[in-house]
Every structure is written in structure tokens, then in C-alpha cells.
A and B are shown apart, each in its own frame.
Chain A
Amino acid sequence: MSIVAIHGLYKTYKDALEPSLNGISLEIPTSIIFGFLGPNGAGKTTTLSILCGLVKPSSGKASILGKDIATEMQEIKQLIGVVPQDIALFPSLTATENLTYFGNLYGLKGKALKDKIEHYLDIFGLTNNAHKRVSQYSGGMKRRMNLIAGILHDPQLLILDEPTAGVDVQSRKMISDFLKSYNKNAGITILYTSHMLDEAEKLCDEIAIIDHGRILLQGTPQSLIQQQEKCHSLEEVFIQITGRSVRDN
């Protein structure tokens, strides 16, 4: 069964010369880690933004857990967790205050919320800094906090937009190890974008490569490598498919 189903999705932003999404169709099976890869400006963030309800598609359909994004977005928002590309936290609040606020917005409160916050702060090694303002955190700490804010309400689908961008090796390993166990132990489906192709190759069960608003390839990392001639890694597949020219957006 597909947790995410996208059919013929188009998006052209106002004043844009070209569409950001050019009729993409995609099915993501339940309980897997799905890598959504592509160069800058390929359409990854636009797709995720549509699935989160931040952007309206120009045309096409998409559903999450069988719920239509056009009509049932409020229900969908309760079922998904989102970890945006940018750090989306209140810098002047502490970790605990941030997470309490976000938990309250998901309807969580009291001891249950407190326990959950403590649990995740412990997992991500932030317990000692729980009462420190987020503005005083390092980049890696902020990334981990950003992830906790997305999973606090136990979503069925976790959407991550470059969750390990700009963090040190230790934090990156901590995040990817968590995502693996979170997927395996809780059966949570993870939709993930990254420019770290080696990380994606190890982490993802299935991958789609998108460019110029179109899905170019989809399959398991191994099958993609095997399909492409002279390719021994996902990075080589990616370069072969999307080209070597530098993308500025």
C-alpha cells in the first residue's frame, strides 16, 4: 500500500519562466525510507511543500494515507511530521519551551508531553542543554532540535528536507542512525531529500531522482546502480542522469 500517491503534479510559480514541477507522478510504499534526490532547483522542496500544504499545486493530485491534499490537509497535517530544510525554531526560547509550544499546537500537554520531550532530548544528547536558548546552540544541536520538533507527535509519515545539511559528522551519524531505527522500530515511513548521496545510498530503501520537475529514475539504490552502465555508486548514477553542469538554484 502507498502512503504517498502523486499523480501528474504541476507547479509553476508566479512570474517563473519554467514550471518547477512538470507533471510528476510518484508512489511511496508504507514503512520505507524513501530518498527524493535531485540537484538544486530540481523540484524536491516544491514537491515536499505541496505535500505539507505550504504550496498549492497548479494542477494534479496528491494524497497521503489516502487523504486528498486539496481537501483534507488539516487531517494530513496531524499525521505527518515535517523537518524543514531551514532551522524552524524560536531562537529566544529554550529547547524545552520550543518543544512544549510545538507539542501544544499538536494537542499534546501535561506529563505525556513532558515525558516525550525528555525522551527525545535524551536520545539526541540535548538533555544538558534543555534549558538553554536555541540561539546559543551549535548548528548540529539546532539540526537535532529541528528533527525532534518534527517527530514529537508521533507522525505516520516523516518528511525531511536535507536534515543533515551543514552539520558535523557526529551529528550527521546520530541523525541517520536515529532515522534508521525510527523507521525500523516504529514502522514510520520517511520521505527524505539530501545532497549527501552516500548517506542516501546507505539509508534509503527506495530512491527517486528528480530534475527539471520530472522524475527521471526510481528504484532501490542497488537497482539504480545496476541499471546505469559504468556506475558503481549512487553518486555516479546521479551525475550520469542529471549531468555535470552546476545549478545555481
Chain B
Amino acid sequence: MWLRLTATIKKEYLTLSRDKAGLALLFFMPLTLIILMALIQDAPFKDYQELKFDIIVLDNDQKEISQQLVDGLKKTKKFSVHTTYKEKELNEVHAKKLVNQGKFQFAIVIPKGTSLQVQNNSNKVVAKLLNSLGMPSDTNAFTESHALYIEIIFDPTAKSAFKIAINNAMEKLVAGIETEMVLKSMSQQLGTAENDNGLAFDQIRSIEVKEKAAIDKSNGLTMITNSVQHNVPAWTIFAMFFIVIPLGGTILKEREDGSLMRLKIMPGSYTILLLGKVLFYVGVCFVQFILMMLVGIFTMPLFGLPSLQLGHSYFALMVIAIAIAFAATSYGMLIGTIFKTPSQSLTFGSVSVVLLSAVGGIWVPLYVMPLVIQKIGAFSPLYWGLNGINDLFLRHEGLLFILPQVLKLLGFSALCIFLAQWFEKKSFQ
């Protein structure tokens, strides 16, 4: 049995080592893929806090409160506020055009009368409040107001999540200014303004929202959320599953050139020969994995990206990598066995890997997908692999935690090998 197994592994090595195109597909392409994907997906992955957007602000009011809004936008440091373009004052038509051309992410138009509107409204609120307390108020001077809108003009390509975030930020800014205005007005009515210049919005906030990591930092672990940490494992798994193309092609080639038939007329279990092929390609996948991790650690920083952090359990990482390799290789064996022509195998193999990766959360996280896709995605071996690696890299868990994912991957592999053997047997009957 060992002789048959080692002979098959050696044969696979010799065959692959002479296939230059196959080698390029197995090693060069995946490495290029993860570098490119990490670079491409770096910007969208960054938190909005990390990014600074070029925006246009048109202050048509030019009063105290509108100036406070502009200052508030500048203070957040998320925005680089522009009121001119190429040394020319901007108007709304020009601003729309520039945003539409993608030169600015969005434009904020503060309408004329904003300050007066806010002042009026705060006076009205304070008057109502004091009247309800039976106190006289000096705020009857307010005029009837009509609705005014601060308009945000977005780039047509802007994502909904981005729009929601900007809208929320603006709402928060306006609400803060309005509250401050109400407090100031009230202070004036109560005659306390001279003493303490009124209450500031920040002074009345007693609870603030703060982000906290779910992992325990006491043992020196930190939560790492960057594009490299997410993209490198995801695209590594994707690339590993692309072994179905060369592997499926090899099996079909062997069937076409008759060598597969010779193997079947030889004594001994055909399963051993299949196993030899699987083991060799598992080794290839594992080497791919190591190379891609090394690229994540050493090459990504050369492109200005952070270095990949491998978590604390290298053994568990090896186990999940081997389990992914088994799943990918066995799937390739199945594809090569079921289909009878290279074009069928190539088309189905590549499309199915892309689909499995899409529903498996390689492209975008599974939790943002529709419920039905989430349910389907939970059966994707790429999802199990990605989950396992994320557990190690981001949650800093160990082997025991990722064991269910490892078992699912190995179970998938066993099922594929069984089916491949069954189809092969059936095809010769």
C-alpha cells in the first residue's frame, strides 16, 4: 500500500512539475490575487473614522449658526471642507456637477435663513416651556416659520451605508447646535446667561457610547480589524479552492490519454491511487497557504498595508489549513470525475467556486446578505474555512474552538472522495 501511495505522489509531483502553466495557475496567480484584492478592498474596508472625505459646503445663510455647522463639520476631521474649487466660489449648480463627476463625495447646502429658523424654533420651545410652568416669557417675538432643509447631495455611486452614516452625522451635528440654542435661550430667559454664559450641549450629556473589544486584552491580545486581516485569509481560501481547475483537468487528461484505464486494470485498491493524488494536491494547497500567509506578513507592508497577524495558535492554523486543503482537493477530484470534457469541468469548477465563495462570505461578510443566502452560505466549505481562520486570527481562539469547522471540512472532503469513487466506478459499468 505504501509503495503504491508514494509512487502515486511521486508521479503527481513529476507531472505537475513539468506543467509550467499549471504551476503558474497554482502559485503565481493566487499570490497576485491576494495582493490585488487586499489593496483593492483596503479603502472600502477602512472605518469612516480612518478616512477623510473631500466635501463641498455651501453656506447660503452666512450667519452665526450656519457658521457653527461649518465649524462642526471641520472639527470632526472626517471631512476636508471646500467652499471653492480652483479658486472660484461655488454655487449649488456647480457643486452638483462636481459631485456628479465624482470629484467630491458629497455636498452640503445650508439654506438661507437657517440661523433665523433655529433661533425662532428655540425661542418657541422655550416660550412654551416657560408658559407651561406659569412663568412669563419674552419670546413672543418669534415669527411663523416654514420647513427648511439642509440638503446633502451625494455622489451617485455612494453606497447606502455611507449615506446613512453621513446623514446620521449631520443629524447629530444639527441636533447638538439646536439643543445648545434652546439651552442658551432658556438661560437668557431665566437670567442666568450673564453668570455662566448658558449651558453647553456637552455639559448636559452624562452618557457617551464607547466601543470595546470582545476579546480579553489582559493576556496581551488585541483586536485587529484591518483589510489585510480579513482579505488575506478570505482570498487565500478562494485561491486554494481554485485547485479544482488544474486537478479536474489532470483527471480528465488521464481519462483521455488512457492512463486512468491502465490504473484501473492494475491490482490493488483504486482508492489508494485517488488518495495519493489527493495527498499530493493537499500538499500543494498547503504550500499555497503558507506562501500566501508569508505574503500577508511580509509583502503587504511593502504596499503600505498592515502586516498579517496569525493569532496565537500556529498548530490550530495548520490544522484548519490542511482541512481546507483536503476539502478543496477532494472537490477538485469530484469535478474531474463527474464531468467528461475539460470545458465542462473548467466552467463548472470555476463558476461553482465563485458561487461558493460569494455565498460563503469571501467577497462580503455573510451577515450583510439576505437571510436565505445566509442559510445557504452556512453550507459552503469556504465559509467554514473562513470562519475557522477568523476564529484564530480575530477572536484569538484555539483548536478546540475551530474543531467543528475542521470536522465539517473533513466531512465534506470524505463525501467528495466517496462520490468521486462512486462516479468513477459507475462510469466503467
Contact = CB atoms under 8 A, between A and B. Distances in A.
A182 interface: no
Interface in A161-190: none
A11 to B, nearest CB: 10
A214 B428 CA distance: 22
Nearest to A105: B266
A14 B427 CA distance: 11
A88 B258 contact: yes
A133 to B, nearest CB: 8
Interface in A93-149: 93, 97, 100-102, 104-107, 109, 133, 149
Contacts of B428: 54-55
Q: How large is the interface on B (under 10, 10 to 19, 20 to 34, 35 or more residues)?
A: 20 to 34
B266 A88 contact: no
Given A84-B261, A92-B14, A93-B11, A78 B429 contact: no
B98 to A, nearest CB: 59
Given A92-B19, A104-B3, A54 B266 contact: no
Contacts of B257: 86-91
A72 to B, nearest CB: 11
Contacts of A157: none
A55 B263 CA distance: 14
A52 interface: yes
A212 interface: no
A78 B259 contact: no
Interface in B250-285: 254, 257-259, 261-268, 273
A100 B3 CA distance: 11
B51 to A, nearest CB: 51
B15 A90 contact: yes
B88 interface: no
B7 A77 contact: no
A109 B14 CA distance: 18
Contacts of B262: 82, 84, 88-89, 102, 149
A107 B15 CA distance: 21
Contacts of A91: 257
B312 interface: no
Contacts of A14: 429
B4 interface: yes
B18 interface: yes
A101 B266 CA distance: 11
B261 A93 contact: no
Contact of A101 (B11, B18, B258, B264): B11
B10 interface: yes
A104 B4 contact: yes
A149 B265 CA distance: 12
Nearest to B4: A105
Interface of B: 3-4, 6-8, 10-11, 14-15, 18-19, 254, 257-259, 261-268, 273, 428-429
Given A74-B267, A102-B266, 15 more contacts: A54-B264, A75-B267, A77-B267, A77-B268, A78-B267, A86-B257, A89-B257, A93-B14, A100-B7, A101-B7, A101-B11, A104-B7, A105-B268, A106-B266, A107-B3
8 closest cross-chain pairs (CB), A and B: A104-B7, A88-B262, A88-B258, A77-B267, A86-B258, A78-B267, A52-B265, A92-B18
27 contacts: A54-B264, A54-B428, A55-B428, A55-B429, A75-B267, A77-B266, A84-B262, A88-B258, A89-B258, A89-B262, A90-B11, A90-B15, A90-B259, A92-B15, A93-B11, A100-B7, A101-B7, A101-B11, A102-B262, A102-B266, A104-B7, A105-B4, A105-B7, A105-B263, A106-B267, A109-B3, A133-B18
